Amino acid sequence: MSFEQTKFGYAGGATTADSYGVSNHFGPRKVGKGQGTTTTEGFMNELTLDLDGELVGNEVFPLLAPQLPAGALIDDVYLEVSEAFVVGGTSPVLDVGTATTEATNGVTITESQLEVVGVTNLTSALAGTWTNSLTAVTNVGLALGGTSPTVTDAGKARLVIRYIKV
137 shares its domain with 120: yes
The predicted structure's pLDDT at residue 38: 65
Looking at the structure, do residues 40 and 118 belong to the same domain, yes or no?
A: yes
**Range of the structural domain that residue 106 is part of:** 33-165
Domain total of the chain: 2
What is the rounded distance in angstroms from the CA atom of residue 38 to the CA atom of residue 2?
18
pLDDT per residue of the chain (166 residues) written in tens, 0 to 9: 455 555 555 555 555 555 555 566 566 655 555 566 666 667 899 999 999 999 998 888 888 889 999 999 999 999 999 999 999 999 999 999 999 999 999 999 999 999 999 999 999 999 999 999 999 999 999 999 999 999 999 999 999 999 998 7
Interacting residues of 14 by C-beta distance below 8 A, sequence separation 6+: none
Both 5 and 73 in one domain: the answer is no
Do 26 and 37 lie in one domain? The reply is no
